[in-house]
Amino acid sequence: MIRLQDIAKVYPMGKRELAVLRGVNLNIEKGELVAIMGPSGSGKTTLLNLIGCLDQPTSGSYYLGGKEVSRLSSDELAQIRAQKIGFVFQTFNLLPRLSALANVELGMRYAGGSDPKRALKALDKVGLSNRANHRPTELSGGEQQRVAIARALVKRPPLILADEPTGNLDSRSGEEIISILTSLHAERGITLVMITHDAGIAHHCQRIIHLKDGQVVSEETV
């Protein structure tokens, strides 16, 4: 499903250049549940952004579902994000002025149109159908992240990317989130790539990829 070949990402920093990724090679099969670990500054988020088509590599090739996407235009990338990729962020990134339901609907908005029934179903899936009309500020952190997961899965993408989904949560809510994500993976065969600092969480995954200084240093299968 995901094939990265010699991916490098260099950011200009004033006169110098900062190499965040230096030659990453990675294959992720359809339906895999993968954790990415590594110290801060190792390029985890940059890698996830590249996989999520939010960013483009400086060099190297990226095949997503067999299609080379590293040189597409921003609108073509937007289409891929709309159709194939669901994001779950550490900071939830819900729109504060919209209700939970409207936030979930937003997830379908650019993928072909909203459907309140489907959005409500997705909320039900994360156990929040009774909070549909609450605003994010009226929800706890764990509930907000569940809304964000509903938003990511409502368009039924084959790939969900989560950037430290439990990073801002207490351990109990974190466990809830992880169990929702893993059960989604199990039920629907969604490919799930997740960044985490928590080795306990990583061990829920099938494979752990360790990143350091912009390179894959080791992989372990759980």
DSSP string, the chain: -EEEEEEEEEEEETTEEEEEEEEEEEEE-TT-EEEEE--TTSSHHHHHHHHTTSS--SEEEEEETTEE-TT--HHHHHHHHHHHEEEE-TT----TTS-HHHHHHHHHHTTT---HHHHHHHHHHTT-GGGTT--GGGS-HHHHHHHHHHHHHTT--SEEEEESTTTTS-HHHHHHHHHHHHHHHHHH--EEEEE-S-HHHHTTSSEEEEEETTEEEEEEE-
* Residue whose CB is less far from other proteins, 90 or 182: 90
Query: Smallest distance from the beta carbon of 74 to other proteins, in angstroms?
Result: 7
Query: Smallest distance from the beta carbon of 222 to other proteins, in angstroms?
Result: 29
Query: Smallest distance from the beta carbon of 157 to other proteins, in angstroms?
Result: 10
* Residue whose CB is less far from other proteins, 156 or 207: 156
Which residue is associated with the tokens 């002025």? 97
* Residue whose CB is less far from other proteins, 63 or 110: 110
* Residue whose CB is less far from other proteins, 66 or 113: 113
* Residue whose CB is less far from other proteins, 26 or 53: 53
Q: Which residues contact 147 (CB under 8 A, 6 or more apart)?
A: 92, 94, 100, 103, 104, 123, 126, 128, 131, 136, 139
Residues that bind other proteins (CB under 8 A): 49, 52, 54-55, 74-75, 78-83, 85, 87, 89, 93-95, 97-98, 106-107, 109-111, 113-114, 151
* Residue whose CB is less far from other proteins, 85 or 177: 85
Query: Smallest distance from the beta carbon of 110 to other proteins, in angstroms?
Result: 4
